[in-house]
Amino acid sequence: MRRNSQRLAAIGSCWLAAGATALACPICFQVEDANTVAGVRAGVIVLMSVTVVVLSAVAAFSIRIWRNEKVSRPDA
Amino acid sequence: MEGVMIPYTAERRPDTGVSNGTLGIWLFLASETMLFGALFSAYALLRTSATDWPASGREILGTTSVVSMTFALFGVTAMIWTASKPQAKTRHFPLLLSASLAVCFLGFKSLECSSKVSAGLLPSSSMFLALYFTLTGFHALHVLGGIAANLWVARGVWRLDEAITTGRLKALALYWSFVDVVWVAILVAFYAT
């Protein structure tokens, strides 16, 4: 257990000491290409809209089950 | 440890308000909505950021086959809804007719795709065609799955009781309605704009 922790610490130190250039998605850094930014925004809006609709339906169905359970339970 | 048995019943459950089959098909359609949602999200992303997009998709895809495909697909759903009514006199005829209409849809679709490929319009040709082939290909796979489901339900009509068959047909009708909705979205995305 202790040996594993030492190995992990050694690997982590090497990784931190390597000092490589950080690579990131250019969209996160406000790339100048307005089309790309607008495209990503549109894609995220569509995907989030679909997800919200599906999750709302699941939530509505859960509430329906909860209400039916309350009604059908004799001690309610 | 004994497994939990879910009774095979077509009756409505008091807690959910729907039958097990109906609940199952709604859960399946929810997962399908997420699948197509991801595809349409990719469409929105790539279309908005594309520098080269045709002014009208109709010029590339044509309009003759799309009208036939739309009628065939809507005919399938209408037939299945007719067959799912409890007072329906026959179940086999609408089921097999709708399967035939779905085969016609796939025939028109394959003709359209082969004409594009023979004209050198491949998915690698442009962003528009890549998205077109991907989305319509996934939709066509769902039509193919629907045909298999139609034949499976038709096979069970003779052997199973009325309530189970009606439940299966209602689930099938919901599935085909979903396929129609996706088709309308494809029409708007590729043909109408």
Confidence band for A47, pLDDT divided at 50, 70 and 90: very high
- Predicted confidence (pLDDT) per residue in B129-188, tens digit: 899 999 999 999 999 999 999 999 988 887 878 788 888 899 999 999 999 999 999 999
- Predicted confidence (pLDDT) per residue in A53-71, tens digit: 999 999 999 998 888 887 7
Q: Are B169 and B80 in contact (CB under 8 A)?
A: yes
For Cα atoms A16, A18, A21, give the angle at the middle one, nearest 5 degrees.
95
Alpha helix (H) ranges present in chain B?
20-49, 57-61, 64-84, 92-118, 127-159, 162-186
Interface test with B, best of A46, A65, A72 (most B CBs within 10 A): A46
**Contact call for B45 and A57, based on CB within 8 A:** no
Query: Which domains does chain B possess?
Result: 60-191 (1.20.120.80)
Q: What is the pLDDT of residue B156?
A: 84
Q: What is the pLDDT of residue B180?
A: 95
**Contact call for B49 and A53, based on CB within 8 A:** no
What is the residue-averaged pLDDT of chain B?
Answer: 87
Residue B9 DSSP class: -
Spatial CA neighbour of B130 closest among B48, B46, B26, B62:
B46
**Contact call for A40 and B37, based on CB within 8 A:** no
Distance CA B12, CA B20 (A): 8
Q: What is the pLDDT of residue A29?
A: 66
Confidence band for A8, pLDDT divided at 50, 70 and 90: confident
**Contact call for A35 and B48, based on CB within 8 A:** yes
pLDDT of B81 strictly over 80? yes
Of the listed ranges A7-11, B53-57, B130-134, the one predicted with least confidence: B53-57
CA distances from A17 to A13, A14, A20, B100 (A): 6, 5, 9, 67
- Which of the two residues, B10 and B141, has the higher pLDDT score? B141
- Token readout for A46 is 């569509």
**Contact call for A39 and B16, based on CB within 8 A:** no
Spatial CA neighbour of A46 closest among B193, B179, B46, B129:
B46
User: What integer is the mean pLDDT of B87-96?
Assistant: 80
Q: What is the pLDDT of residue B145?
A: 95
- Residues of chain B contacting A54 with CB distance shorter than 8 Å: 30, 33-34, 37
Distance CA A36, CA B103 (A): 40
Q: What is the pLDDT of residue A75?
A: 62
Chain A: closest CA distance from residue B37 (Å): 6
Distance CA B39, CA B34 (A): 9
Distance CA B52, CA B41 (A): 18
- Token readout for B11 is 């009756």
**Contact call for A39 and B50, based on CB within 8 A:** yes
**Contact call for A51 and B17, based on CB within 8 A:** no
Q: What is the pLDDT of residue B34?
A: 95
CB contact, 8 Å: A63 with chain B?
Answer: no
Nearest chain B residue to A47, by CA? B41
Q: Are B162 and B56 in contact (CB under 8 A)?
A: no
- Residues of chain B contacting A26 with CB distance shorter than 8 Å: none
Nearest to B44 among A46, A68, A72 (CB): A46
Which of B10-24, B83-97, B128-142: highest mean pLDDT?
A: B128-142
